[in-house]
Amino acid sequence: MKNSNSIFKKITTIPLKFYAGILIFLPLLYIFILSFFRNDYYGGIIPDFTFDNYRMLIDVVYLKVFLQSFLIAFITTFICICISYPFCLIIKTKKETTQKLIMTFVMIPFLTNSLIRTYGWIVLLRKNGVINQFLMGTHLISSPLSLMYNYFGIVIGMVYTLLPFMILPLNSAVSKLDDSLLDASKDLGANRLQTFFKVVVPETLPGLFNGSLMVFIPAIGLFFISDILGGGKLMLLGNLIKNQFLTARNWPFGAAISITLIIITFIFVKLYKKIGGKMDDLGGGL
Amino acid sequence: MKKKYLHNLFLLLVFAFLYLPIIVLVIFSFNSSSLNIVFEQFTFRWYHVLLENRSLLEAFMNTMIVAFTSTIVSTIIGTISAIGIKKYNFIGKEFIQSLLYIPIVIPEIVLGISLLSIYTLFRLDLSLVTLIIAHITFSIPFVIISVRTILDSLPSNLEDASSDLGANKFKTFWYVTLPSIMPGITSGALLAFTLSLDDVIISYFTAGPDSNTLPLKIYSMIKTGITPDVNALSALILVVTIIILMTSTVLQLRKLRKETEL
């Protein structure tokens, strides 16, 4: 009896230890160490301890990349919030089966390949794409608009790819919101904006923060969206890391950027836990 | 009443936003013009072109091998680990549990480059194997969470009853625990499978030159220029995944309805 228990314990815990140790901890530790090394001209790594890689991050060129990335991630998150709140509040008023159906249809595109869906936007947004053709055909505009290869295209692509990550956690928070709370607020004379900011937002804060985390962080790293819809003109942190590892072959510098991103992520997660968010709910409660 | 119209209009707009690129892709994949601009004539030509493309077929096979293998492995490891975490205390448990959230929260690119670095450190050549290991790495935490949610909802005396009746750990696991956590395992496995099919970023760093998957192939095709056969391929992938997803939802809804009727 006792013997079978200890074997069972071994079977259920040893693979986990190996997995967490070798495939999560070790790679991150290695990246951390790498970020203090130097590279040689041939892309090799020289194990000299240095802070240069982190010092390089303060260079104007790279600071600009940081700012650009954060700006785009911030705008993306903001737009996602602006779409998701009304969306979730509206479907809250629907029947339960309708709610389920609507959420399923939100999930479906999200489970298909994001790269392919991003590609679909090219057909829509190009100079001679569907949207410009439509607007010119209806004489709303006389010359085609630049809808991609700029900030606009990237933000559309980001919002499009990440929107479900906001809708899912927000919806589970909003659907748990007590209707009587909203009624009480109305009865006490609050208008709809007041109700929204004083009741809805505070009550759904963990969901909102969860969604923001799951939109903001990936938005920093999604290099293929800025490649495809930004035409590679706008460098985001994801592109910068990719370049350091594959083209410039300066792995230590790429590692330093990655470590910085991890630290930023951890700060966000700490904040999320501080306002009462649960770790298991992250990932959109997929 | 007017308010309701506005509400529904808003929902409609959001859905238009979500589905427009997909619909446009599918329509243009039947367009005879290779310029992809104006719809000229209906044709199946690009689908024929696809079928003759050996490298795409190969990429498709790779995608399937990676998705199935990584799903099976991550589901098994994820399931037994969820049970281990639930039942036992061991050294470093807290630390390991917090490590599990890392692949979920950090940007995918960071996981991708850190795996690439460690492969290089161990002198592992990039291949299907390294790709599969990478997919297993990002899938396991999702399986663990999915199984643990169900485990937490099980009454604890269920397993006690089984062992009181003389079953050992393994029998209890096989006849009692496993059947009752099956829903968590299936949803975890489905999630692992779709995550694997969807992944671009981590695969980009961990696949070898001979282990291209479809998303990677499409990525390089888009970069060299937009041709209608990319449309056809994309449309095909989208439609197939959507059909699979819809069937599974319809089946689930039906089962749900039956259960509520009972």
Helix, strand, or coil (residue B42) = strand
Query: Per-residue pLDDT for chain A (286 aa), expressed as one digit of tens each?
Result: 567 778 888 888 999 999 999 999 999 999 999 999 988 877 778 888 888 889 888 888 899 999 999 999 999 999 999 999 999 999 988 888 888 888 888 888 877 778 888 888 888 888 777 788 788 888 788 878 788 888 889 999 999 999 988 998 899 888 888 888 778 877 887 788 888 888 888 888 888 998 999 899 999 988 889 888 887 778 889 999 999 998 888 899 999 999 999 999 999 889 888 887 888 777 644 4
Using the Cβ of B255 and the Cβ atoms of chain A, whether some distance falls under 8 Å is answered with: no
Contact B81 A13 (CB under 8 A): yes
Residues in chain B within 8 Å Cβ distance of A4: 168-170
What pLDDT is attached to residue B38?
A: 66
Contact B238 A255 (CB under 8 A): no
Shortest distance between the Cα of B114 and any Cα of chain A, in A, equals 5
Q: Express each pLDDT in B187-237 by its tens digit.
A: 888 889 888 988 889 999 999 888 888 888 888 888 776 677 777 888 887
Using the Cβ of B5 and the Cβ atoms of chain A, whether some distance falls under 8 Å is answered with: no
Residues in chain A within 8 Å Cβ distance of B168: 1, 4
Superfamily of domain B54-225: MetI-like (1.10.3720.10)
Using the Cβ of B67 and the Cβ atoms of chain A, whether some distance falls under 8 Å is answered with: no
Are B126 and B119 contacting, i.e. CB atoms less than 8 angstroms apart? yes
- Closest residue on chain B to A127 (Cα): B37
Contact A27 B106 (CB under 8 A): no
Are A74 and A216 contacting, i.e. CB atoms less than 8 angstroms apart? yes
- Closest residue on chain B to A254 (Cα): B113
Shortest distance between the Cα of B59 and any Cα of chain A, in A, equals 15
Residues in chain A within 8 Å Cβ distance of B204: 242
- Closest residue on chain A to B198 (Cα): A113
Interface probe for B, chosen from A14, A18, A23 (most Cβ of B below 10 Å), is A23
How many pairs of residues across A and B have Cβ atoms under 8 Å apart? Answer: 230
What pLDDT is attached to residue A285?
A: 45
Contact A13 B101 (CB under 8 A): no
In Å, how far are A73, A233, A269, B107, B204 from A220, measured between CA atoms?
6, 16, 15, 7, 17
What pLDDT is attached to residue A23?
A: 95
Q: Which among A103, A105, A112, A75 is positioned nearest to A285, based on CA atoms?
A: A103
Residue environment code for A112-151, b if the CB has 16+ CB neighbours within 10 A, otherwise e: bbbbbbbbbbbbbbbeebbbbbeeeeeeeeeeeeebbbeb
How many other β-carbons are positioned within 10 Å of the β-carbon of residue B251?
Answer: 10
Residues in chain B within 8 Å Cβ distance of A30: 114, 117-118, 121
Closest partner CB to B117 (pick from A19, A31, A122)? A31
Contact A116 B36 (CB under 8 A): no
**A121 vs B256: which has the higher pLDDT:** A121
What pLDDT is attached to residue B139?
A: 95
Q: Which domains does chain A have, with CATH numbers?
A: 56-281 (1.10.3720.10)
List all residues 6 or more positions away from A78 whose beta carbon is below 8 Å from its beta carbon: none
Using the Cβ of B116 and the Cβ atoms of chain A, whether some distance falls under 8 Å is answered with: yes
Q: Which among A62, A30, A64, A68 is positioned nearest to A47, based on CA atoms?
A: A30
Closest partner CB to A116 (pick from B109, B149, B238)? B238
Q: Which among B85, B111, B71, B74 is positioned nearest to A258, based on CA atoms?
A: B111
Shortest distance between the Cα of B61 and any Cα of chain A, in A, equals 16
Phi-psi map region of B36: left, alpha, beta (phi>0 left; psi -120 to 50 alpha): left
pLDDT, average across residues B85-93: 89
Angle between helices A205-221 and A251-274 (to 10 degrees): 170
Are A100 and A132 contacting, i.e. CB atoms less than 8 angstroms apart? no
Domain boundaries, given as residue ranges, for chain B: 54-225
Using the Cβ of B104 and the Cβ atoms of chain A, whether some distance falls under 8 Å is answered with: yes
What pLDDT is attached to residue A286?
A: 47
- Closest residue on chain A to B28 (Cα): A123
Q: C-alpha angle with apex A152: B222 to A105, nearest 5 degrees?
A: 70
CA–CA separation, A221 and B109 (whole Å): 6
Residues in chain B within 8 Å Cβ distance of A34: 117
Shortest distance between the Cα of B177 and any Cα of chain A, in A, equals 13
The per-residue DSSP string of A154-216 comes to HHHHHHHHHHHHHHHHHHHHHHTS-HHHHHHHHHTT--HHHHIIIIIHHHTHHHHHHHHHHHH
Shortest distance between the Cα of A18 and any Cα of chain B, in A, equals 10
Signed CA dihedral, A115, A116, A118, A119: sign only: positive
In Å, how far are A46, A241, A254, B133 from B124, measured between CA atoms?
20, 21, 20, 12
Signed CA dihedral, A173, A175, A180, A185: sign only: positive
What pLDDT is attached to residue B1?
A: 62
Q: How many residues does chain B have?
A: 262
Residues in chain A within 8 Å Cβ distance of B24: 120, 123-124, 130
Estimate to the nearest angstrom the gap between the alpha carbon of A165 and the chain centroid. Answer: 8
Contact A163 B18 (CB under 8 A): yes
- Closest residue on chain B to A245 (Cα): B113
Contact A116 B218 (CB under 8 A): yes
In Å, how far are A115, A169, B79, B84, B186 from B151, measured between CA atoms?
35, 22, 10, 11, 13
What pLDDT is attached to residue A95?
A: 85
Contact B106 A12 (CB under 8 A): no
130-169 of B, contacting A, C-beta below 8 A: 133, 136-137, 140, 142, 145-146, 148-149, 168-169
Closest partner CB to A1 (pick from B81, B108, B168)? B168
**B153 vs A64: which has the higher pLDDT:** A64
CA–CA separation, B109 and B211 (whole Å): 19
List all residues 6 or more positions away from A271 whose beta carbon is below 8 Å from its beta carbon: A209
H or E element at residue B246: helix B228-261
